[in-house]
Amino acid sequence: MKDQPLFDKIDLHLIRILHTVLTERNVSRAAVRLGMYQPAVSAALRRLRELSGDPLLVRSGTGMVPTPAGLRMIEPAAHILRSAEVMFADARRFDPATARQTFLLAASDYLDPFFLPHLVAHLKTHAPMCGIEIHPLSGDSDYYRRLAQGEVDVVIGNWPQPPGDLHLGRLFGDEVVCLVSENHPAVRRGWTSEDWLQAEHIAPTPTHPGARGVIDLHLATLGMTRHITARSPHFSLIPSMVASTLLVLTTGRQFCERFVGLLPVAILPCPVPFPRLMYYQLWHERTHASPASQWLRDAIKTVAAGLRQDDPELEEAPVPVSGPAGRSGTTRSRRIPLKPLNSPVA
């Protein structure tokens, strides 16, 4: 910077004194308004005169008036003070009713077919001037880097081992069940674990070569392999495929329950024991204290809790999120160690 030595001698407090002295046109009144002693204000005015090379404020009759240079400084000084106030106010609070920004999420539709529609509706109701971009989950994405660089604000998933040294907030746990056609033989006669393994299964298309979802990862720990004969990249379309075939979809109960009554399908218990599916949101330390990001995470948790209020393992829902957010958010989190990324699908 060409005038760096001069710039280094100017601070925000000095700009505030300059603006107050020029608008009050009286050092004594400026001192009262600033909550300072008059000698300190006079000393600051002398420093300002030295820096500007101009008297700034001169006597006229019984009072004082700004010089032409002083008059030109009033509005720029006010602009600097307003900008500083806005800058720090924005960092300390978030008012969803007036905010204008875009929230960036990475998520898929396997959590609940109603989740993303309800989340978008919630955001547009409570933060009507904010945009939202939903990015698909993919195995070739480095979510730690994307979160760290601000390409996404939150990642929503159900990896058995969450990726990266990130903050984690639980949304809910879900029972693993099977969705089949009402005409599937297992609906009438039941099935054993062998029957289930030999049945024709449908699963999501791997996000990248060699990727396995939580179902197949758990089966591998048991030394088991199921018979997958169909795959689809569109998880929300799989129930319709199940309804007209003998295919078996194994995933969370909440997802399956949305299609019972809409399609000729039935939910069966899985004969192979599985741990509960755990769904959560991940975020980076970069946005951990951001009021806007805290509000977004609370909104995500509120929507998830509204979809699954009967889950006994669901954490306490956060406080309402329609008002301004302060420096501390309500989404509980814990830090998780660096672990490999696995495909977050059934």
Higher pLDDT, 82 or 263: 263
**pLDDT reported for residue 4:** 52
Residue 308 has pLDDT above 80, yes or no: no
Amino acid of residue 231: R
Query: How many other CB atoms are there within 10 angstroms of residue 61's CB atom?
Result: 6
CA distance 204 to 24: 70
pLDDT averaged over the chain? 83
pLDDT at 86 over 80: no
**Pairing state of beta strands 201-204 and 228-232?**
parallel
Rounded to 5 degrees, what are φ and ψ at 19? -65, -40
pLDDT at residue number 317: 34
Residue 21 CB partners (closer than 8 Å, separation 6+): 27, 30, 41, 45, 48, 56, 57
pLDDT of residue 209: 61
End-to-end CA distance of the chain: 56
Question: Is residue 239 over pLDDT 80?
Answer: yes
Closest Cα partner for 131 from 120, 140, 141? 120
pLDDT value at 37 more than 90: yes
Is the pLDDT confidence value at 53 over 60? Answer: yes
Residue 2 reports pLDDT greater than 80: no
pLDDT band at 334 (very low <50, low <70, confident <90, very high): very low
Contacts of 62 (CB under 8 A, 6+ apart): none
Q: Closest by alpha carbon to 317, among 338, 331, 335?
A: 331
Token code pair at residue 197: 């393994």
